[in-house]
Amino acid sequence: MHILSKSTYIKGEQCEKALYLFKNRPFLRDKLSMEQRAKFKRGTDVGLLAQQYFPGGLNMTPSSPSQFDKRFHETMSNLGNPAINVMYEAVFQYDDTLIMLDIIVRDGDKWRAIEVKSSLSLSPTYYKDAALQYYVLKGCNVPLSDMQLMYLNADYVKQGELDLSQLFLFQSVKQYAESYQDVIAKNISNFKNIIKQPHSPKIPIGNQCETPYRCEFHGYCWKDVPNESDKPYTIDYKSLYNLLGDTNQPTAYLNLLFYRPAVPIFDGDKPYTEFIIGFSILSNNGRYDRVYRWNCLDDMSRWKESIPLLIEQLAGYERVVCFAPQNITASLQRFNLDVAKELNYKIINLREVLQQSDFHHEKVKNDFSLKNVYESVFTDKTLFEHSRIILNATSDNLAERLLVDSDLELENKALRDIYNHLA
């Protein structure tokens, strides 16, 4: 039975206390954020596509943790079976450390080990991941021709069928992994000792709590730190009023739902090209709220229908307030010059306006999201994470997709509340 896995090892590299808590007090973890869930889903989608690059493989994924040992022995026996050339999620164990390798492919009389990443570039953490896998594979005496990272090609443009040979890039990390083996052996031995201790290591909070990932014990370790988020927000009202101009014009609030699939869906798109899959417009005629909603979740190829609809529905308003993390003008221009011409002059991206007006609150320090701005302005209220909408919008479950319209509307109302409160 293993003691460490790839994820616990990476935790230990980030902070030994996080590793200890994970192994001994897992119930202290924070709730998984929607953003983390969205990332996880993205990774799974790309991982399945990467398997198709090496078709016909045997899927070794254990159905439960109790299957790990069985799968490990099957993996080792499959390596010697000439009828098996590719395995997905093959299980290896060495030095009390278990890994599941995304893909392993026969390469002459050796094997090529591949770890899949759903990103456009490779970070140092990915190299360390791969070095650990290499350590375990070598410990299992797997003859390796190479250890590679497989990731998305930022320059790939889809034309017709997905061309997997162009969509993915490979980077050998064997040399790096070789040079890192002593460090890994030492770390593993150290981590095994730490886990056995009666108390968690005394490690003060610091930069490691956010880097390279936000630690899942953040809530626990930071609970006694004086809460700066109790302090009210600050803003330079002079800049704000200058930037907002005449707020008495007929105003609509626009909530655009962008989707950035890791794997391009339409011809002409690259990985992570974004497009509009829904929107909600909120306005008020002096007595009643008017809501206009549109989405193309049932058939995303209809996304371009959003453009004429936006122009038509926003025609009667002099200003359109939105809150977008991206440069909305540039985004609209890329979609369609006409819509850019029609809308740009009256669009106010409240996010940019607030940033330029030095809006500050502890909550927005690391993430200037609508949720965090809303909760800084209205300290007794909460809003959900935007990733919830993306997760529901791309869900296979119809009931979840049906929640998207009302969530877009709720965000839009939060936007209006912030705008009315500050303007």
Q: How far apart are CA 158 and CA 299, in angstroms?
A: 18
Tell the smallest beta-carbon distance from residue 25 to ligand SF4 (Å). Answer: 10
CB of 18 or CB of 142, closer to ligand SF4: 18
CB of 18 or CB of 49, closer to ligand SF4: 18
Omega prior to 198 cis, within 30 of 0: no
Nearest to 246 by CA among 313, 316, 319: 319
Question: From its phi and psi, is residue 238 left (phi > 0), alpha (psi between -120 and 50) or beta?
Answer: alpha
Tell the smallest beta-carbon distance from residue 13 to ligand SF4 (Å). Answer: 11
Residue whose entry in the numeric block shows the structure tokens 């200037």: 368
CB of 201 or CB of 232, closer to ligand SF4: 201
Tell the smallest beta-carbon distance from residue 220 to ligand SF4 (Å). Answer: 7
CB of 215 or CB of 314, closer to ligand SF4: 215
Tell the smallest beta-carbon distance from residue 217 to ligand SF4 (Å). Answer: 4
Tell the smallest beta-carbon distance from residue 19 to ligand SF4 (Å). Answer: 8
Adjacent-strand bridge partners of 204:
none
CA distances 128 to 41, 95, 134, 258, 408, Å, are: 22, 17, 10, 33, 39
Local structure of residue 260 (DSSP, 8 states): -
CB of 21 or CB of 86, closer to ligand SF4: 21
Q: How far apart are CA 47 and CA 41, in angstroms?
A: 10
Question: Which tokens in the block code for residue 369?
Answer: 């999201």
Residue 71 corresponds to which amino acid?
A: R
CB of 218 or CB of 270, closer to ligand SF4: 218
Tell the smallest beta-carbon distance from residue 3 to ligand SF4 (Å). Answer: 18
Q: How far apart are CA 414 and CA 284, in angstroms?
A: 14
Tell the smallest beta-carbon distance from residue 42 to ligand SF4 (Å). Answer: 24
CB of 217 or CB of 279, closer to ligand SF4: 217
Tell the smallest beta-carbon distance from residue 206 to ligand SF4 (Å). Answer: 7
Q: How far apart are CA 20 and CA 29, in angstroms?
A: 12
Please report, as ranges, the residues that interact with ligand SF4 according to CB under 6 A: 15, 17-18, 21, 203, 205, 208-209, 215, 217-218, 221
Adjacent-strand bridge partners of 94:
97
In this structure, how many other beta carbons lie within 10 angstroms of the beta carbon of residue 288?
A: 8
CB of 203 or CB of 235, closer to ligand SF4: 203
CA distances 327 to 87, 146, 353, Å, are: 43, 42, 12
| 192, 3 Cβ separation under 8 angstroms | yes
Q: How far apart are CA 156 and CA 165, in angstroms?
A: 10
Q: Identify the three-state secondary structure at position 311.
A: helix
CB of 52 or CB of 211, closer to ligand SF4: 211
CB of 163 or CB of 228, closer to ligand SF4: 228
Residue 408 corresponds to which amino acid?
A: L
| 361, 336 Cβ separation under 8 angstroms | no
CB of 23 or CB of 319, closer to ligand SF4: 23
Furthest-apart CA pair in the chain: how many Å?
77
Tell the smallest beta-carbon distance from residue 354 to ligand SF4 (Å). Answer: 29
| 274, 157 Cβ separation under 8 angstroms | no
Residue 208 corresponds to which amino acid?
A: Q
